[in-house]
Amino acid sequence: MMELVASDTAPFLLYGRNFLSADEAQGLVEFLASVPERRIEETDPASEFVFVEYQERSGGPSRAEAAAGDPVWLGTDWGQGVAISPELRFLQRRVGDLAGDCDLGRLLGFIPSVSFTSTYVDRYLPGGGFIPHTDGTHYGSVIAGVSVGPGSAKFALWPDDQVERPPVVELSLEPNSVYVFCGPIRHHPWHHAVRDVTDLRYGITWRTAPEPDAKQ
How does the average pLDDT of the chain come out, rounded? 89
With cut-offs at 50, 70 and 90, classify the pLDDT of residue 24. Answer: very high
**Spatial distance between the Cα atoms of 54 and 44, rounded to a whole number of angstroms:** 16
143: β partners: 181, 207
CA-based nearest residue to 72, from 139, 133, 122, 131: 139
Question: Model confidence over 94-114: pLDDT tens digits?
Answer: 999 888 777 666 656 667 788
Residue of higher predicted confidence among 151 and 163: 151
The conformation of residue 99, written as its DSSP 8-state character, comes to: -
Question: Model confidence over 44-91: pLDDT tens digits?
Answer: 989 999 999 987 666 678 899 999 999 999 888 999 999 999 999 999
- Strand ranges for 102-211 from DSSP E: 118-124, 130-133, 142-148, 153-158, 169-173, 178-182, 191-195, 201-207
**Spatial distance between the Cα atoms of 190 and 161, rounded to a whole number of angstroms:** 7
With cut-offs at 50, 70 and 90, classify the pLDDT of residue 206. Answer: very high
Residue 215: pLDDT above 60?
no
pLDDT of the residue at 63: 92
All structural domains of the chain, each given as residue ranges with its CATH number in brackets, are 5-207 (2.60.120.590)
